């Protein structure tokens, strides 16, 4: 008879299995939670950096809504039609009987240039910027033969000038070079024409902005000036290219115009997008000076932001342009 050994007692392994399974599950959940948290943090950080970069490279919103301005200023109603940013062309005229702050160029110029006679007048801010620009030109190029041959003009003078041009070239050709009375930049006191005069022999020649004089046309925006009638802008200005005709618009507007290759008509239109209660135009010049620009369509209670200083110029189209700077 075969002898059988009694079967061994079975062990209960259930509790041990659930123990290791629970431990594995806990570790796995902790691992996933940790890496998800790290990924989410990196994603938010990347998004934050991207948003920050977008803000730096775009036009920032206004400083604040009405109520957060530091002060409100009111100007006379004719402020719409005064200042270095007024647009004067065949559509927008300049009929002011008196132009404030006109001074004799001869009596206020430095020795870096000449003036055709003692009766040439310009706005005081234009003369100051002109002195700085032409002194820089003299120091850079060593030339002193520039002549300011035209500045402020009365309506009567412009009428006589246009009549003479029409007699020589006909009405249509004259209109492409000479503005009609009341529509000339020269009525503002911010426009001037250059010529070249050689004292050694008494001869003169037209200013073309080439050769050593190219320095002036390229650097004029640093001093607040623009070439008012650029090449290929006749469709906007209605005047042919005049490299000798300069217009003072002030900083930083001249630099912005240069960077965007605008004429003044295009720049005034560009500023339509920047209003007191909407977006503002922020600009930093090459020296790091910061500006903030916006427009208002009223002359009373003009809101001023928290920057230290400001200027306000009319644009001659029914708005004022506010420029804040530190």
End-to-end CA distance of the chain: 115
Distance of CA 263 to the CA centre of its chain: 11
Closest CA to 280 of 294, 266, 299: 294
Q: Which of 242, 266, 279, 292 is catalytic?
A: 242
Cβ proximity of 106 and 115 under 8 Å: yes
Cβ proximity of 302 and 296 under 8 Å: yes
Spatial strand order of the sheet with 309-314 comes to: 281-284, 290-296, 320-325, 309-314
Active site residue 242: yes
Containing 157, the helix (H) or strand (E) segment is helix 155-169
d(CA 324, CA 326): 7
| Catalytic positions | 242
């Amino acid at each position: 008879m075969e002898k059988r050994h009694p079967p061994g007692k079975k062990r209960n392994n259930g509790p041990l299995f659930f123990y290791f399974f629970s431990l594995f599950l806990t570790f796995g959940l902790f691992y996933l939670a940790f890496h998800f948290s790290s990924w989410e943090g990196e994603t938010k950080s990347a998004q934050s950096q991207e948003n920050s970069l977008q803000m730096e490279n775009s036009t920032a919103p206004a400083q604040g809504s009405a109520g957060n301005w530091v002060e409100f200023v009111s100007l006379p109603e004719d402020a719409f039609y005064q200042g270095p940013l007024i647009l004067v062309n065949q559509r927008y005229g300049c009929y002011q009987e008196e132009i404030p702050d006109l001074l004799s160029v001869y009596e206020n110029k430095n020795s870096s240039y000449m003036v055709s006679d003692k009766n040439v007048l310009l706005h005081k801010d234009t003369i100051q910027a002109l002195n700085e620009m032409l002194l820089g030109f003299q120091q850079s190029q060593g030339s002193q033969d520039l002549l300011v041959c035209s500045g402020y003009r009365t309506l009567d003078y412009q009428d006589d000038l246009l009549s003479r041009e029409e007699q020589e070239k006909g009405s249509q050709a004259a209109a492409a070079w000479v503005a009609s009375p009341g529509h000339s930049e020269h009525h503002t006191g911010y426009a001037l024409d250059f010529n070249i005069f050689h004292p050694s022999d008494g001869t003169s020649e037209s200013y073309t902005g080439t050769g050593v004089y190219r320095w002036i046309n390229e650097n004029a925006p640093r001093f607040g000036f623009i070439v008012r009638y650029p090449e290929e802008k006749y469709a906007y200005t209605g005047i042919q290219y005049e490299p000798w005709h300069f217009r003072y618009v002030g900083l930083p507007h001249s630099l912005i115009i240069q960077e965007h290759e605008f004429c003044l008509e295009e720049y005034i239109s560009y500023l339509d997008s920047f209003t007191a209660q909407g977006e503002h135009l922020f600009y930093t010049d090459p020296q790091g000076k910061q500006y903030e620009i916006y427009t208002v369509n009223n002359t009373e209670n003009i809101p001023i932001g928290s920057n230290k200083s400001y200027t306000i110029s009319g644009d001659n189209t029914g708005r004022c342009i506010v420029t804040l700077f530190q």
